Amino acid sequence: MLFKQEYASSIRKALHFSHKLMIALTVLPVVFISLFYLFSMRQYQSIIKNVNDANEIMSTAPTEINSALWYQVAGKPQEETPLSVIFSYEQQLDKLKETASTNEHRQTAIVAARILETVEHYAWEIDSNINNNLPIEENEKVLDEIYEVNDLLKETLGEYVTSEINRANQKSSRMSSVIILLVFLELILVCGLLFFIRQFQHFLDHAIQEPIQNFSQMTSQISQGNWQARVNHVHVKELDSLGEDLNKMANQIEILFDENTQKQKSLALSEIKVLQAQITPHFIYNTLDAILSLAQLGDNQRVQEATYALSNFFKITLNKGNEWTTVTQELKHVTSYLDILKIRYGPILSYEITIDPAIESELILKMILQPLVENALYHGIKQNRTRGLIEILGGRTDNDQLFFTVTDNGIGMNEEKLEEVKKNLAQLPLVNSSIDELKGYGLYNVYRRIKLYFAEDANLIIESQYKVGTSVTILLPEKREEKNGA
């Protein structure tokens, strides 16, 4: 990662750092290239100026000096004397020496200046000869010497011009090469900038997006009931305080939820005891009604059997005050109840019980099958007025849940009635609801009890078809850990 720890710990610092770095990577190369170009152009222009100046001296100096000296020797002096012409070109050569691009070129300019000094010496000699009235032949000899020296001056300045032109060409080539190199370096910087942007995007993803996703996942888990969900420490100053506040809020929610759960459990236990207390008188009423009917018929034998079955039923119901019982005991309990019903209804009622032996020692809530059997009889078989069959099936699902199914061949329900029953079950509140007003007392009683104990871990499923029958299945979690304490 390109960012140091002090930048990675703060989004503001990271943005400030990235802003400065991006400016540096974009502006500084442009400034550097511009300065290099200006500096190179000034050097190039200086070389070109030297070439022009040297070329001008080379093309005019010998001619003008020779012409001025010839007029002087010929006795036709001009307004501008030869010495003033020479002095003018000496000044130009002095400037040329100062602006020479290299020491070599400066030496060439110095040589040219010395040659011009030689011409000046000859000019003084001619002036002296004229003043001393020497023969013109003497001045003509000197003039010939001057012509030769001026040719040498012209040749020397030609070398200077050629060297400076070559220097200009080299400078131009070097500028082109350097510019190409700088463009290449600029491309590298652009690639580096793109890489930096990608790294910075990765940093933003890591520093901002990931914590926000963690915050979102945490709140989602809490909304789904996972009160232990928390976010880890965020190494970003601006988001760390938010994470701490979310964790504090989650802690407070968990505390409030635990307190509310304890209150709900207390209410649920009270509600369960009330429901169980309601089952007993309801069952006693139906059973005594059956025994009374047998007594009115004078069937003392069946009255005796019914009374014994009722006694056995209550013995198992008490279960030493325990809320939980084994599947075996619950089957004995419901069998006693079915025996009482068979005594009352005779051959028109039969039952079959099929239970997986592997679950016989499992613990379940007591008195959850008898209300379903009672519901199958009074709201199913009895409404059909034909031979009735009640089947009880028990086992374990693939998800390791216990299931018990009570099936009857009674009147059943049409789709509209079945949906109404399911809707009533779904809307049945768990606390302080009146189920006495609901048709199918035993069905709603069992549903309330398993929901109070197991919440979403338990379920009740109803399937029915009109004039075919009804099947009620309850799904319960295993309670093996409570066997020893039951």
pLDDT digits (tens, 9 = 90+) for 343-396: 777 788 899 999 999 999 999 988 889 889 988 988 888 888 788 999 999 999
pLDDT at 404: 97
Tell me if residue 354 falls in helix, strand or coil.
strand
Q: 2.70.170.10, 3.50.50.60, 1.10.10.10, 3.30.565.10: which CATH number matches 257-482?
A: 3.30.565.10
CA-based R_g, the chain, Å: 59
Q: What is the mean pLDDT of residues 429-438?
A: 46
Listed in sequence order, the DSSP H helices in 205-349 are 210-223, 237-296, 300-318, 327-345
pLDDT at 351: 94
- Contact between 86 and 94 under an 8 Å Cβ cutoff? The reply is no
- The more confident residue out of 22 and 378 is 378
pLDDT digits (tens, 9 = 90+) for 163-221: 778 877 877 777 778 778 877 887 887 787 778 777 777 776 666 777 777 778 878 88
Give the number of other CB atoms < 10 A from CB of residue 298: 8
pLDDT at 234: 67
Listed in sequence order, the DSSP H helices in 74-102 are 82-99
- The more confident residue out of 403 and 236 is 403
pLDDT at 434: 47
- What is residue 388's DSSP assignment? E
- Contact between 101 and 46 under an 8 Å Cβ cutoff? The reply is yes
Q: What is the mean pLDDT of residues 413-434?
A: 76
Residue type, 31: V
Q: 139-148 contacts: CB < 8 A, separation 24 or more? A: 139/73, 140/73, 143/66, 143/69, 143/70, 143/73, 146/65, 146/66, 146/69, 146/119, 146/122, 147/66
Most confident of the following: 41-50, 135-144, 389-398: 389-398
pLDDT digits (tens, 9 = 90+) for 31-41: 777 787 787 77
Report the distance separating Cα 277 and Cα 362, nearest Å: 24
- The more confident residue out of 380 and 280 is 380
Tell me if residue 408 falls in helix, strand or coil.
strand
Report the distance separating Cα 17 and Cα 252, nearest Å: 39
pTM of the model: 0.47
- Which stretch of 89-98, 138-147, 439-448 has the lowest confidence by average pLDDT? 439-448
How wide is the angle at C-alpha 236 spanned by C-alphas 230 and 238, nearest 5°? 90
Tell me how long the chain is. 486
Domain map of the chain by residue range? 5-211, 257-482
pLDDT at 137: 78
